[in-house]
Chain A
Amino acid sequence: MDRNQSRRQVAAMKQALFDQGLLDEQYIQLEELQDAANPNFAEEIVTLYYRDSSRLIANIDQALKERNGLDFNKMDNIMHQFKGSSSSIGAKKVKAECTVFRECCRARNAEGCMRSFQQLKKEYAALRKKLESYFQLARQIGPSERACCPK
C-alpha cells in the first residue's frame, strides 16, 4: 500500500472512531500532546489504560459473582476509578456505559449491573481492537502524518 493510501486510510479510521461515538475530543487532546520526542504518546496512554484497567474489570467480575449479595458500594467505587481513566483517554462509549453501571449500583439493581457490565466489556474490547489496528497503521506512516484532526 503506498503512503498516500495509508495516510487516507489512517485518517478514515480515525474519523470512523469519532463518527461511531467510540472516542471524544479528549482523545484528540492526547494526540495533540505528541511531538518529535514523544510521537506515540496517545498509544502509550491507551496501552497503559488497557493494562491498568484489566485489574479493575477483573475486580468487578469477581464482585458480581459474589453469592452472599452484591456489594454495590464497592463496585461503584471501582467503576468510579474505571470511568475516570476511560474519560482520560476519550473512550466515549465505555464511559457512557460506566455511568449506566453506576446508576444501577445506586439503584441496587443487580440485574441491571450485570447487563450493563456485559455491554461495557463489549465496548471496551471493541475499542481496543479498533485502536490497535489504528495504531498499527499509524506507526507505519510516521508521526508527521498524524496531525490531521477529525472534523
Chain B
Amino acid sequence: MAAAGDVLRQILPEDGAAGELHVLAVGDSHVDRKVIERLLKISSCKVTVVESETRALQFLGLDGENCSIDFDSLKVNLIMTDYSMPGMTGYELLKKIKQESSLFREIPVVIMSSENILTRIASCLEEGAEDFLLKPVKLSDVKRLTDFMRDEGMKGEKICPKRRRSYDCTPSLSTAFSLISHQS
C-alpha cells in the first residue's frame, strides 16, 4: 500500500508539532458545535464548523463537478460529524466521502452519536469510519483522536481503526468488531 502511504504523508502534517491539523466538524446543534470547536481548539487544531452535510460537501468542494484534485484542495485532515441530522445524516456523508474516486476518500471520518446502538456503530465502522464517539464528547476523546492522527502523520502509515473504548462494548462484542474488515 505504498501509494496510500505516500498520499497520507501528503494529507497529514509531516511534522506533528509545527503542522496544524485542520478538522471539519459537522452538526446541527449550535451548542454541540460550540463545544466541539472549543475541544478541538484546545487540542491545537484549526477548526471549521458547519451546520449540515450539505455545507460540509460545499466546503470540501465535493458538491459540484470536481475535475482536478490537487493536494492543496484537500483542505482538512479529519472530519467529525454528528450521526443524526435533518437532511443528510452523518452516515450518508461518510458513504459519500468513502465512495469518492478522488483522494477525498482518504480523509478520516469520525461519527458522533448520542445513541449507543451497536448495529449503528458496526455499520459506520464497516462503511469506513475511523472512529465512533458517544456524545457528549469529552476532551479526552478529542485528544486521543488528534494525538493518534499526529502520530500516524509522522509515521506516514495508513490509518487503521483500532478497537477503542469510546463506546460501550463487552469484551465478546469487541472481538466481533475486530473481525469487521476495514474498507481499504
- Which positions in A face B, CB cutoff 8 Å? 26, 29-30, 32-33, 38, 41, 44-45, 48-49, 52, 80-81, 83-85, 87-90
Contact = CB atoms under 8 A, between A and B. Distances in A.
Interface residues of B, number: 16
Contact of A33 (B28, B29, B30, B38): B38
B138 A33 contact: no
B139 A85 contact: no
Nearest to A48: B31
B132 to A, nearest CB: 16
B138 A89 contact: no
B30 A88 contact: no
Contacts of B34: 44-45, 48
Interface of B: 28-32, 34-35, 38-39, 42, 84, 114, 135-136, 138-139
B114 to A, nearest CB: 5
Most chain B beta-carbon contacts within 10 A, residue among A32, A45, A90: A45
Given A80-B84, A84-B114, A29 B138 contact: yes
Contacts of A49: 31
A87 B114 contact: yes
23 contacts: A26-B136, A29-B138, A29-B139, A30-B35, A32-B139, A33-B139, A38-B38, A45-B31, A45-B34, A48-B34, A52-B30, A52-B31, A80-B84, A80-B114, A81-B28, A84-B29, A84-B114, A84-B135, A85-B31, A87-B135, A88-B29, A88-B32, A90-B136
Nearest to A84: B114
A33 B42 contact: yes
A6 B111 CA distance: 43
> Which label, helix, strand, loop or mixed, suits the secondary structure of the B interface?
helix
Contacts, number: 48
Nearest to B140: A29
Most chain A beta-carbon contacts within 10 A, residue among B35, B38, B139: B35
Contacts of B29: 52, 81, 84-85, 88
Given A52-B31, A81-B29, A88 B38 contact: no
Nearest to A80: B84
Given A48-B30, A81-B29, A88 B35 contact: yes
Given A29-B136, A44-B34, A84-B29, 4 more contacts: A29-B139, A38-B38, A45-B35, A52-B29
Nearest to B84: A80
Contacts of A84: 29, 32, 114, 135
